[in-house]
């Protein structure tokens, strides 16, 4: 398996233009709405229309409430300014466009500032089912409805705090331990924010954005006998590698978003205690840009 980019799995698209204005500031861009073609809007319409019945069956109630609050048009790529008009008053979060790769620390720091770096491109209609990097459908229809929920939003902000704690430890831990910490954070993000399940009165429901934006995998996550589903345990999550190019065979369940928040607190406590310094090797790989983003933050 190739080495993954932590920034990529946390929501950013790697491109040839990987340099950003400052190692600690993302290069936000205006959404070039006039460049979206009829085919782009058709892709959004196809994605949205086929996800609706899946959301109604498998998505958690907070997502369903959130997507009804955002005023998304089912037949057109959304304007970020319109999304933010609904989103910002609810939790203070806002979606901000990025044109390329954002290193891991910068991405997490954006969450701390209640800003969600959002890819502005959309997948072509010929690749509706699988795209290795995020697009605007994954980010806006998968992630952002969850950002309307105050408890979930606080967990994201708290995760950004964890990134700052990791950066503050740069002077006391070596590069090898810092790399392990970043890997542990990426795995936690993957198995919760991207691919998490939660209990509900209706049974198991999806809250992970990777599942919420995947027509096939959302049902597979809940209904397939091939999937292992376990109550989340932090020691399992931080030591569990994963692959991004097939349906996930192992998923973890939280009780609530308050439970998720407490897990983020535990993650930070374990970080301070040195329990993340030597997690199991394997995916995701931590590339030089992601590592450098933490090193730069810790010495700035």
Q: CA angle at residue 123 from 118 to 125, to 5 degrees? A: 150
Residue 151's pLDDT is 97
pLDDT digits (tens, 9 = 90+) for 48-99: 999 999 999 999 999 999 999 998 999 999 999 999 999 999 999 999 999 8
Rounded Cα gap, residues 68 and 139, in angstroms? 16
The more confidently predicted of residues 245 and 236 is: 236
Q: What is the mean pLDDT of residues 103-111?
A: 95
- pLDDT at residue 7, as a whole number: 46
pLDDT in tens, 4-31: 344 445 443 333 333 333 444 557 899 9
Give the pLDDT score at 2. Answer: 29
- For 88, 175, 224, 292, the CA distances from 114, given in Å and listed in that order, are 9, 28, 35, 23
Calculate the dihedral angle through the C-alpha atoms of 155, 157, 159, 160, rounding to the nearest 10 degrees.
180
Average pLDDT over residues 105-131: 89
C-beta separation of 115 from 96 below 8 A: yes
How far apart CA 118 and CA 128 sit, in angstroms, is 18
Q: What is the arithmetic mean of pLDDT over 132-143?
A: 89
What's the whole-model pTM score? 0.90
Whole-number Å distance between alpha carbons of 142 and 74: 14
Q: What is the pLDDT of residues 241-266, one digit of tens each?
A: 998 878 999 999 999 999 999 999 99
By the 10 Å C-beta count (0-12 exposed, 13-18 middle, 19+ buried), 19 is classed as: exposed
Taking residues 133-154, what's their average pLDDT? 94
Q: Is 226 exposed, middle or buried (0-12, 13-18, 19+ CB in 10 A)?
A: exposed
User: Residue 165 pLDDT > 70, yes or no?
Assistant: yes
């Amino acid at each position: 398996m190739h080495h993954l980019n932590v920034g990529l799995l946390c929501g950013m698209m790697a491109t040839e233009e990987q340099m950003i204005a400052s190692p600690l500031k993302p290069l936000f861009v205006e959404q070039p709405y006039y460049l979206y073609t009829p085919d782009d809007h058709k892709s959004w319409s196809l994605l949205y229309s086929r996800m609706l019945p899946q959301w109604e069956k498998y998505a958690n109630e907070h997502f369903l409430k959130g997507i009804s609050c955002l005023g998304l048009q089912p037949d057109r790529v959304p304007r970020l300014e319109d999304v933010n008009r609904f989103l910002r008053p609810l939790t203070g979060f806002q979606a901000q466009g990025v044109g390329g790769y954002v290193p891991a620390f910068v991405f997490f720091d954006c969450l701390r500032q209640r800003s969600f770096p959002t890819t502005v491109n959309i997948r072509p209609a010929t690749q509706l089912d699988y795209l290795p990097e995020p697009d605007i459908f994954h980010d806006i229809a998968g992630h952002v409805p969850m950002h309307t929920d105050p408890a979930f939003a606080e967990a994201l902000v708290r995760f950004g705090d964890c990134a700052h704690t990791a950066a503050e430890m740069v002077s006391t831990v070596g590069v090898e331990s810092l790399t392990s910490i970043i890997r542990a954070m990426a795995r936690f993000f993957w198995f919760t924010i991207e691919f998490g399940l939660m209990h509900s009165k209706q049974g198991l429901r999806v809250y992970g954005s990777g599942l919420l934006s995947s027509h096939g995998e959302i049902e597979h996550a809940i209904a397939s006998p091939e999937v292992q589903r376990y109550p989340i345990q932090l020691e399992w999550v931080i030591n569990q590698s994963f692959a991004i190019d097939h349906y996930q065979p192992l998923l973890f369940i939280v009780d609530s978003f308050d439970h998720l928040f407490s897990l983020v607190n535990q993650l930070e406590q374990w970080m301070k205690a040195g329990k993340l310094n030597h997690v199991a090797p394997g995916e995701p790989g931590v590339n030089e840009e992601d590592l450098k983003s933490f090193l730069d933050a810790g010495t700035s």
